[in-house]
């Protein structure tokens, strides 16, 4: 990057994206800072179980304030763009519906697919930027031989965010920069300090940005109450895998596959949630070993390193963020479906999460676990 | 980079003559206008001269002018000052009081009305037609025996559409109901005569008429009993406690004088000419556009234009990066833009409201400034549309 380009930076008000903006600016690019206003934290304030005031991590006024101060410090234009409607439609609603149908959603991936690398990328292009840079820990590069843009794991494996980025298309990747891909988090903080950014020591955000305190059940209650919708009655039976009824539960949204606590049944050996049946409202419980299975199906597949999966391929598959990638064979099982067969059974394969395929550092693609 | 500022409805630059007038009141004539001594007398005289100038701009007596911190305070003082004080000295908001306002008010009025509603008052928001105008008959029909106040703006900040305030004033007078009008977007753009308008209260803001931010005035018709919002000393005839912002007040007075000179010199016709040329050229050169409120009388500096198939937000940013400052909608606390309640109240679809831009000229703007805008807007709109998934879909379906 020796020539000066116009680059939009998606700024969240955190250390990572702020440092990206400062680095690109220092390299002499025309940098434009953009923050998406996605969720009004005040909306659900005061509902039961929700904080009185807006103290959510993301999209809070504090974060916008921080991003604005960084922009001012490094001397770049900065704008806040309102995408609250899109965010509610494409991220919050599906998040709620997934839980209510017994699945465990990943809103961050939906946000990446529908907001950051879609809406924001369009705005970036519209305002004359050649590319959009973000503070994700990942690498993107063009492979001459394949003639394709590749998404790769970052140098700092502990911060690897490729799991959330499997949905990026070739077009999106071609316009995206991940300047932190070669850096470690301590190095990023070091750079932030060197650029005089006041937020260099700001703690990392951990939880889902629109769910304060990370309590999604309170969020579902508060959101549905705000919408004037009743929480659907999804109460039902707790059953064993042999169909034996061992108890009752108050609603399937209270469960995640692999969960042990809060089942409300006392038995000799610990019981886990094995499966959630959205259609019958049954929650299947069983022993630890029943949590393991060898295959899964993914749908709404996005392939990055391949145009198409024509024959079975050996890959490593992650079935949740921070999951240790496990060897598997992937093969096409339908138009938009891929069958994953692991060498070793995997614990708690969870519908609603993503299965992301890796070949070494390279993200082959991924899909949603059916 | 050359920068052209066409967002004068948001704020205006302080004119050099105004700056010069106020400068002496920071360090040189710094006295507290309430003080007995020479220093106090100096600033007291300056404050009262400014009051005369503002009174001359509004067509009222000096004693009817209350200096405030700006338009928002004026609106709040008018609304809470009247509705909280019942006909017989009552302490708090009286459940049952009724207020008439409109759907296109500035948030300074709308949020005040919401606050009244939450404390037990009732508020009727009369609608506007497709040209952004309130119908005085709607105001008349909204009257109730317990109606205490009508508060309807004189010109809208987003469209510039002038409201039929004279007729509303007559409705108010007939019904013997107090009438307040927010004239923030009118002062300095169109002559104001409170006697002709028949209003009891009228708020203006300094920074919309080339005085600095942080000063404004509220006309309070003689005999109107207003409950103060701030308690303290007996400043402003006990209607607004707090040591006067003397430099700001002096500036507002000077700006009021200059505004009257502008009216006398026909500069407003020049501004209207620039605005009309800009509008017409954009309409000629860009497809699928229109002027919001074009069928109404408007203040001479404002133009609200919709561009189908684009997000106004992106257009504002793209233009700003090229040196042209315009705006869209109302910015919320984060600085992001919410869909305009004014444009949706006029019947625009949310998409069209979001695709609308406001151009507002100021006294400092020249024909070259307008040319600069015209060189940028059509090409930038074309670029945005090219990249817009919405516009392309529309084009395909046509």
How many CB contacts within 8 angstroms connect chain A with chain B? 57
In this prediction, residue A59 carries a pLDDT of 54
| pLDDT tens profile A166-176 | 999 999 999 99
Q: Where in chain A is the domain with CATH 2.40.30.10?
A: 292-369
Beta A362-369 vs A326-334: how paired, if at all?
unpaired
* Structure token digits, residue A138: 């990942």
- CB proximity A32 to B under 8 Å: yes
Tell me what percent of the residues of chain A surpass a pLDDT of 90.
71
Q: Which helix (H) or strand (E) holds A240?
A: strand A236-240
Question: SS3 for A338?
Answer: strand
In this prediction, residue B199 carries a pLDDT of 97
CA distance from start to end of chain A = 41
Judgement on whether residues B92 and B230 belong to the same structural domain of the protein: yes
Contact assessment for residue A71 and residue A21, using Cβ atoms and an 8 Å cutoff: yes
- Cβ contacts of residue A279 below 8 Å, gap of 6+? none
Beta A313-318 vs A292-303: how paired, if at all?
unpaired
B67 φ, ψ to 5°?
-80, 140
Judgement on whether residues B225 and B310 belong to the same structural domain of the protein: no
Compare A254 and B162 and report the one with higher pLDDT. B162
In this prediction, residue A41 carries a pLDDT of 76
Average pLDDT over residues B299-303: 97
| pLDDT tens profile B33-46 | 999 999 999 999 99
Inter-chain CB proximity B318 and A127 less than 8 Å: yes
Question: Mean pLDDT score of chain B, rounded to an integer?
Answer: 93
Judgement on whether residues B127 and B193 belong to the same structural domain of the protein: yes
Is the pLDDT at B235 greater than 70? The verdict is: yes
Nearest CA in chain B to A31: B321
Inter-chain CB proximity A126 and B335 less than 8 Å: no
Q: Choose one of B224, B242, B262: the last residue of a domain.
A: B262
CB atoms closer than 10 angstroms to residue B169 = 22
Is the pLDDT at B333 greater than 80? The verdict is: no
Give the C-alpha separation, B200 to B77, whole Å.
Answer: 13
Inter-chain CB proximity A77 and B313 less than 8 Å: no
Among the listed residues B113, B121, B199, B332, the single catalytic one is B332
- The number of distinct structural domains making up chain B is 2
Judgement on whether residues B254 and B349 belong to the same structural domain of the protein: no
The topology under which CATH files domain A236-286 is SH3 type barrels. (2.30.30)
Is the pLDDT at B15 greater than 80? The verdict is: yes
Judgement on whether residues B227 and B286 belong to the same structural domain of the protein: no
* Structure token digits, residue A51: 């904080």
Tell me what percent of the residues of chain A surpass a pLDDT of 70.
96
- At B393, is the pLDDT very low, low, confident or very high (cuts 50, 70, 90)? low
Judgement on whether residues B162 and B244 belong to the same structural domain of the protein: yes
In this prediction, residue B236 carries a pLDDT of 94
In angstroms, the separation between the Cα of residue A157 and the nearest Cα of chain B is: 34
Inter-chain CB proximity B335 and A80 less than 8 Å: yes
Residue with tokens 């500036």: B251
- CB proximity A125 to B under 8 Å: yes
Judgement on whether residues B247 and B277 belong to the same structural domain of the protein: no
In this prediction, residue A139 carries a pLDDT of 98
Report the complex ipTM: 0.85
Q: Where in chain A is the domain with CATH 3.40.50.620?
A: 6-135+179-217
Beta B65-68 vs B216-220: how paired, if at all?
antiparallel
| pLDDT tens profile B260-291 | 998 888 888 999 999 999 999 999 999 999 99
Question: Mean pLDDT score of chain A, rounded to an integer?
Answer: 91
- At A61, is the pLDDT very low, low, confident or very high (cuts 50, 70, 90)? confident
Which residue in A59, A61, A125 is closest to B387 by CB distance? Answer: A125
Inter-chain CB proximity B318 and A32 less than 8 Å: no
| pLDDT tens profile A310-342 | 999 999 999 999 899 999 999 999 889 999 999
Q: Is B134 left (phi over 0), alpha (psi -120 to 50) or beta?
A: beta
Inter-chain CB proximity B314 and A32 less than 8 Å: no
Is the pLDDT at B293 greater than 50? The verdict is: yes
Judgement on whether residues B275 and B180 belong to the same structural domain of the protein: no
Q: What is the dihedral of CA A26, A27, A30, A36, to 10 degrees?
A: -70
Q: Can you give the length of chain B in residues? A: 398
Q: What per-residue string of b and e applies to A335-349 under the rule 16 or more CB within 10 Å gives b?
A: eeebbbebeeebbbb
Average pLDDT over residues A74-99: 94
| pLDDT tens profile A176-197 | 999 999 999 999 999 999 999 9
In this prediction, residue A53 carries a pLDDT of 56
Judgement on whether residues B26 and B143 belong to the same structural domain of the protein: yes
| Residue of A126, A130, A209 for testing the chain B interface, max B β-carbons within 10 Å | A126
Give the C-alpha separation, A1 to B299, whole Å.
Answer: 50
**Which of B192, B193, B203 has its CA nearest to residue B66?**
B203
Nearest CA in chain A to B389: A122
CB atoms closer than 10 angstroms to residue A169 = 14
Q: Choose one of B262, B297, B315: the last residue of a domain.
A: B262
Q: Where in chain A is the domain with CATH 2.30.30?
A: 236-286
| pLDDT tens profile A255-304 | 999 998 877 777 777 889 999 998 899 999 999 999 999 999 999 999 99
In this prediction, residue B185 carries a pLDDT of 98
Give the C-alpha separation, B155 to B167, whole Å.
Answer: 14
Give the C-alpha separation, B262 to B328, whole Å.
Answer: 28
Q: Exposed, middle or buried: residue A323 (CB in 10 Å: 0-12, 13-18, 19+)?
A: middle
Compare B111 and B96 and report the one with higher pLDDT. B111
Is the pLDDT at B65 greater than 60? The verdict is: yes
In this prediction, residue B85 carries a pLDDT of 43
Which residue in B314, B336, B338 is closest to A127 by CB distance? Answer: B314
Is the pLDDT at B398 greater than 90? The verdict is: no
- At A3, is the pLDDT very low, low, confident or very high (cuts 50, 70, 90)? confident
In this prediction, residue B388 carries a pLDDT of 85
Cβ contacts (< 8 Å) between B317 and chain A: which residues? 32, 79, 81, 123, 127
Q: Can you give the length of chain A in residues? A: 370
CA atoms within 13 A on the CB side of A233: 2
Tell me what percent of the residues of chain B surpass a pLDDT of 90.
85
Is the pLDDT at B87 greater than 80? The verdict is: no
Residue with tokens 């001479």: B300
Give the C-alpha separation, A355 to A166, whole Å.
Answer: 9
Contact assessment for residue B316 and residue B377, using Cβ atoms and an 8 Å cutoff: no
Nearest CA in chain B to A34: B317
- Cβ contacts of residue A262 below 8 Å, gap of 6+? A254
Judgement on whether residues B171 and B197 belong to the same structural domain of the protein: yes
Average pLDDT over residues B319-347: 84
Q: Which CATH number is associated with domain A6-135+179-217?
A: 3.40.50.620
Contact assessment for residue A130 and residue A175, using Cβ atoms and an 8 Å cutoff: yes
Q: Which helix (H) or strand (E) holds B280?
A: helix B267-285
Inter-chain CB proximity B320 and A123 less than 8 Å: no
Beta A292-303 vs A362-369: how paired, if at all?
antiparallel
Average pLDDT over residues B66-89: 83
Q: Which helix (H) or strand (E) holds B356?
A: strand B356-360
Contact assessment for residue A50 and residue A221, using Cβ atoms and an 8 Å cutoff: no
Is the pLDDT at B91 greater than 70? The verdict is: no
Q: Which residues of A are annotated as catalytic?
A: 111, 209
In this prediction, residue B90 carries a pLDDT of 47
What DSSP assignment string belongs to B292-330?
A: TTTTS-B-TTEEEEEETTS-HHHHHHHHHHTTEE-B-SE
In this prediction, residue A213 carries a pLDDT of 76
Is the pLDDT at A1 greater than 60? The verdict is: no
Is the pLDDT at B193 greater than 70? The verdict is: yes
Question: What residues make up the domain containing B243?
Answer: 16-262
In this prediction, residue B92 carries a pLDDT of 47
Q: Which helix (H) or strand (E) holds A98?
A: helix A93-100
Average pLDDT over residues B373-396: 84
In this prediction, residue B89 carries a pLDDT of 40
Which residue in B318, B332, B334 is closest to A126 by CB distance? Answer: B318
In this prediction, residue A46 carries a pLDDT of 75
Q: Choose one of B211, B244, B262: the last residue of a domain.
A: B262
Q: B122 pairs with which residues across the strands?
A: B98
Inter-chain CB proximity A79 and B388 less than 8 Å: no
The topology under which CATH files domain A292-369 is Elongation Factor Tu (Ef-tu); domain 3 (2.40.30)
| Residue of B315, B316, B317 for testing the chain A interface, max A β-carbons within 10 Å | B317
Give the C-alpha separation, A162 to A139, whole Å.
Answer: 8
Give the C-alpha separation, B61 to B65, whole Å.
Answer: 7
Give the C-alpha separation, B77 to B166, whole Å.
Answer: 22
Is the pLDDT at A133 greater than 70? The verdict is: yes
Give the C-alpha separation, A287 to A272, whole Å.
Answer: 6
């Amino acid at each position: 990057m020796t020539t000066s380009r116009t680059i939009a930076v998606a700024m969240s008000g955190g250390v990572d994206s702020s440092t990206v903006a400062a680095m690109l600016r220092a390299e002499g690019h025309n940098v434009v800072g953009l923050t998406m206003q996605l969720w009004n934290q005040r909306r659900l304030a005061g509902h039961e179980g929700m904080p009185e005031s807006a103290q959510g991590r993301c999209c809070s006024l504090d974060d916008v304030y921080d991003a604005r101060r960084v922009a001012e410090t490094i001397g770049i234009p900065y704008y806040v763009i309102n995408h609250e409607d899109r965010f509610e439609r494409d991220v919050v609603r599906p998040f709620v519906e997934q839980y209510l149908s017994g699945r465990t959603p990943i809103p961050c991936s939906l946000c990446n697919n529908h907001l950051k690398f879609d809406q924001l990328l369009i705005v970036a292009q519209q305002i004359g930027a050649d590319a959009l840079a973000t503070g994700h820990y990942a690498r993107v590069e063009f492979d001459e031989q394949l003639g394709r843009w590749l998404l790769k794991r970052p140098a700092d494996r502990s911060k690897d965010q490729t799991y959330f980025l499997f949905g990026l298309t070739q077009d999106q990747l071609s316009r995206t920069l991940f300047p932190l891909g070669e850096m470690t988090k301590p190095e990023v903080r070091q750079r932030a300090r060197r650029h005089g950014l006041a937020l260099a020591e700001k703690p990392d955000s951990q939880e889902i940005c629109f769910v304060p305190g990370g309590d999604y059940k309170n969020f579902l209650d508060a959101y549905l109450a705000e919408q004037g919708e009743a929480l659907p009655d999804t109460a039902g039976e707790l059953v064993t895998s042999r169909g034996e009824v061992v108890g009752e539960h108050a609603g399937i949204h209270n469960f995640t596959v692999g969960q042990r606590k809060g089942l409300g049944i006392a038995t000799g050996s610990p019981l886990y949630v094995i499966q959630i049946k959205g259609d019958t409202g049954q929650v299947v419980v069983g022993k630890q070993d029943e949590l393991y299975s060898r295959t899964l199906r993914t749908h709404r597949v996005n392939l990055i390193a391949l145009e198409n999966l024509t024959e079975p391929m050996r890959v490593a598959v992650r079935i949740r963020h921070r999951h240790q990638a496990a060897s598997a064979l992937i093969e096409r099982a339908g138009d938009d479906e891929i069958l994953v067969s692991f060498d070793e059974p995997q614990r708690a394969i969870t519908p609603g999460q993503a299965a992301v395929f890796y070949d070494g550092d390279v993200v082959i693609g991924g899909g949603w676990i059916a | 980079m050359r920068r052209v500022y066409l967002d004068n409805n948001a704020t205006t630059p302080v004119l050099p003559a105004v700056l010069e007038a106020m400068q002496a009141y920071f360090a040189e004539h710094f006295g507290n206008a309430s003080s007995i001594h020479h220093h106090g007398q100096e600033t007291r005289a300056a404050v009262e001269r400014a009051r005369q100038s503002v009174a001359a701009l509004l067509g009222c007596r000096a004693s009817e002018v209350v200096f405030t911190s700006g338009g928002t305070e004026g609106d709040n003082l008018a609304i809470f000052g009247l509705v909280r004080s019942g006909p017989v000295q009552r302490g708090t908001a009286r459940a049952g009081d009724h207020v008439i306002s409109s759907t296109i008010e500035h948030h300074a009025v709308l949020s005040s009305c919401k606050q009244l509603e939450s404390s037990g008052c009732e508020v009727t928001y009369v609608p506007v037609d497709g040209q952004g105008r309130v119908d005085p008959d709607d105001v008349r029909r909204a009257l109730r025996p317990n109606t205490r106040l009508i508060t309807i703006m004189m010109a809208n900040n987003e469209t510039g559409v002038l409201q039929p305030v004279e007729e509303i004033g007559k409705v108010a007078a007939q019904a013997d109901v107090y009438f307040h009008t927010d004239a923030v977007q009118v002062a300095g753009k169109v002559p104001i005569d409170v006697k002709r308008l028949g209003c009891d209260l009228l708020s203006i803001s300094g920074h919309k008429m080339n005085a600095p931010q942080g000063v404004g005035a509220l006309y309070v018709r003689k005999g109107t009993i207003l409950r103060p919002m701030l308690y303290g000393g007996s400043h402003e005839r006990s209607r607004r406690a707090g040591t006067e912002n003397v430099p700001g007040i002096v500036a507002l007075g000077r700006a009021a004088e200059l505004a009257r000179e502008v009216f006398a010199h026909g500069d407003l016709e020049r501004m209207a000419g620039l605005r009309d040329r800009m509008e017409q050229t954009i309409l000629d050169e860009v497809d699928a556009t229109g002027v919001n409120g074009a069928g109404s009388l408007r203040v001479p500096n404002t133009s609200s234009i919709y561009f189908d198939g684009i997000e106004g937000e992106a257009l504002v940013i793209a233009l700003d990066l090229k040196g042209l400052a315009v705006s869209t909608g109302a910015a919320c606390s984060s600085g992001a833009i919410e869909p305009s309640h004014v444009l949706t109240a006029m019947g625009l679809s949310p998409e069209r409201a979001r695709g609308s831009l406001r151009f507002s000229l100021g006294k400092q703007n020249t024909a070259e400034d307008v040319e600069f805008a015209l060189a940028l807007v059509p090409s930038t709109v074309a670029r945005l549309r090219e990249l817009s998934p919405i516009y392309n879909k529309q084009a395909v379906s046509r």
